[in-house]
Amino acid sequence: MSILKITGGRRLDGSLRVQGAKNSTLPLLAASVLTEGLSVFRNCPRLTDVAATVRILRHVGCRVYEEGDALYVDASGPISPEVPDALMRQMRSSVIFLGALLSRCGEASLCLPGGCELGPRPVDLHLLALRTLGAEVTEAGGRLCCRAARLKGGRIDLPSPSVGATENAMLAAVLAEGSTVITGAAREPELLDLQDYLRSCGALVTGAGSGVIRICGAEKLRGGEKRILPDRIAAATWLAACAAAGGRVRLYDACPQHMAPVLHALRRMGCAVSTGENLIVLERRGDLLSPGPIVTRPHPGFPTDAQPPLMAASLKAAGTTVMIETVFESRYRHVPALRSMGADISAAGKTAVIRGVKTLHGGDVTASDLRGGAALAIAALSAEGETVLRGMEHVDRGYEDMAEALTALGGEVSLRKE
C-alpha cells in the first residue's frame, strides 16, 4: 500500500497538464464493445479505474493495447455477454456494460456494480431505459440478466438526469431497430464525448448536452476514435488546492468552458482566475473568503464531485460556508478526518456548515473515497506540519499520480510504500 506524505504551509507555484477525464473514458471504453472494429482513444488517463475497465474488455473478448497516451480496443471478434462479479464490483461505471453487451450480444449478465459509497446508488433508471427498448430484465440474487433479440427504438423519459442511465440508454439505442428519444437526459460534458465517439463509429446521435437526445438505430457500427476531453474535476481539485494554500497555478490542456460554477465559486473566494483557450490560471495572494452557499446539482449546476475539494478549500476561509449536497445522500464521509485536522464543520443529512478557522494541523488520515481523498490532500497543503494520507487506492482511481501533480504545482509531497 502506498501513503502520501504532505508537508503543508507552503504557497503553490507551478503548472500542470490536465489529465483526460475519467468520467468520459469509462463509458467510452464500454461503448467500444458495440463496434465490430478497432477503436482508438487518445489522451487516455492512467487510472486504476481505466485498468479495471480494460480487464472487463479483455474478459469479454476484446484485444486491448496501449501506444503512448492512446488506448486501442479491437472488438471485432466474438464478444461474451457475461462479466464476472469480481470485475463488476471494482467500480460503479461497470454497469454501463449492461447496455453495451445487451446491444452487441442480445443478452447481458452481470452483478450490481461496486464503486464509491456515496449513499444508495440504485440502477432503476438504467433498467427503465432498457425495458423501454424492449429488454427482458430479470434481477435475482444481486445479478442482472437482460435479453432482447434486437432492441426496439422508443421514448425514454428519465425522471431524473442520471449520467449513467443516460449513457446506458444511448448505448442500448444505437443498435436498436428504429429511433429513440431520451428526455430528461443528463447534460454532463462527458456525454458530448460519447456522442462524438459513437458518431465516429457511424451512429446517428444528436442532442447530447441538451437534455433531449435523439438516436437512429444502426445495423452495425465500425471502430471509431476519440480524443478524450480534459478532466474538469481533476482541474477543479488542483485549483482548490491553490485557493487553500495560496500562490499561483497554471493549468493547460484544461476546459474552462465546462467549469463555470467552480470558477465562479473560486472567484468569490478572492482568487484571481483568468482563462484562455484550454488554459486556466488561478492566483490567490490575499485573504481567503467564504464562497457563500454551494448547492450541488446535475450539470450545468455545481458538480457534486467538486464538493469535497471546495469544502477543503473553504476550511480557512473567513466566514461561514454552507454546502448542500443534492445529488448523493451521503457525500460527507471526509468530514471526520478534516475535523481531526482542526476544521470546524457540522454535517447532517444533505447540509454541511463550515466555519472558517485560522489554522489547521497535519495528521494521520485515511481517504474514504476518491474525492474525499482529494479533499484531505488539499487540507494537508494548507495545514501546519506533516500529514500522512492513507487509502491512496481510492485516490488512484481518479487521479493520475497525485504526488507528481502536487509536486509540479509546488507542493512538498512524497509517495511512500508502506
Nearer of residues 297 and 355 to ligand EPZ, judged by Cβ: 297
CA distance 352 to 370: 19
Region binding ligand EPZ by CB under 6 A among candidate stretches 159-167, 197-205, 354-362, 407-415? 159-167
CA distance 396 to 75: 27
CA distance 348 to 109: 38
What is the number of the residue whose Cβ is closest to ligand EPZ? 164
Q: List the grid coordinates of 13.
A: 507555484
Dihedral pair phi/psi, residue 26, rounded to 5°: -60, -50
Interface with ligand EPZ, residue 19, by CB under 6 A: no
Interface with ligand EPZ, residue 327, by CB under 6 A: yes
Interface with ligand EPZ, residue 312, by CB under 6 A: no
Give the pairing type, strands 247-252 and 12-17.
parallel
Interface with ligand EPZ, residue 325, by CB under 6 A: no
Helical segments of 290-333, H only = 307-314
Interface with ligand EPZ, residue 4, by CB under 6 A: no
Region binding ligand EPZ by CB under 6 A among candidate stretches 37-45, 53-61, 78-86, 114-122? 114-122
3-class DSSP state for residue 261?
helix
Residue 35 near residue 198, CB atoms below 8 Å: no
Which residues, at least 6 apart from 310, have a Cβ–Cβ distance to it below 8 Å?
Answer: 236, 240, 262, 265, 291, 294, 323
Considering the complex, what minimum distance in angstroms separates the CB of residue 91 from ligand EPZ? 7
Interface with ligand EPZ, residue 20, by CB under 6 A: no
Considering the complex, what minimum distance in angstroms separates the CB of residue 58 from ligand EPZ? 20
CA distance 94 to 88: 6
Interface with ligand EPZ, residue 316, by CB under 6 A: no
Q: List the grid coordinates of 237.
A: 481539485
Task: Clarify whether 255 is annotated catalytic.
Answer: no
Interface with ligand EPZ, residue 309, by CB under 6 A: no
300: cis peptide before it, omega within 30°?
yes
Catalytic residue among 44, 111, 116, 201: 116
Helical segments of 293-341, H only = 307-314, 335-340
Interface with ligand EPZ, residue 136, by CB under 6 A: no
- 195 to each of 18, 26, 178, 361, how far by Cα in Å? 22, 14, 18, 46
Nearer of residues 101 and 218 to ligand EPZ, judged by Cβ: 101
Q: What is the dihedral of CA 190, 191, 197, 199, to 10 degrees?
A: -160
Query: What distance, in Å, lies between the first and last C-alpha atoms of the chain?
Result: 6
CA distance 158 to 277: 34
Nearer of residues 120 and 142 to ligand EPZ, judged by Cβ: 120
CA distance 277 to 270: 23
Q: Mask: binding to ligand EPZ, 181-220, rule CB under 6 A, as x and -?
A: -----x----------------------------------
Region binding ligand EPZ by CB under 6 A among candidate stretches 20-28, 30-38, 58-66, 215-223? 20-28
Residue in 164, 224, 230, 362 binding ligand EPZ, rule: CB under 6 A:
164
Interface with ligand EPZ, residue 402, by CB under 6 A: no
Interface with ligand EPZ, residue 162, by CB under 6 A: yes
Interface with ligand EPZ, residue 163, by CB under 6 A: yes
Interface with ligand EPZ, residue 304, by CB under 6 A: yes
Residue 399 near residue 20, CB atoms below 8 Å: no
Nearer of residues 232 and 284 to ligand EPZ, judged by Cβ: 232
Residue in 126, 232, 258, 284 binding ligand EPZ, rule: CB under 6 A:
126
How many residues touch ligand EPZ under the rule CB under 6 A: the total is 26
Nearer of residues 33 and 218 to ligand EPZ, judged by Cβ: 33
Residue 283 near residue 247, CB atoms below 8 Å: yes
Report the catalytic residues.
116
Residues in contact with ligand EPZ by the rule CB under 6 A:
22-23, 26, 92-93, 116, 120-126, 160, 162-165, 186, 304-305, 327-328, 370-371, 398
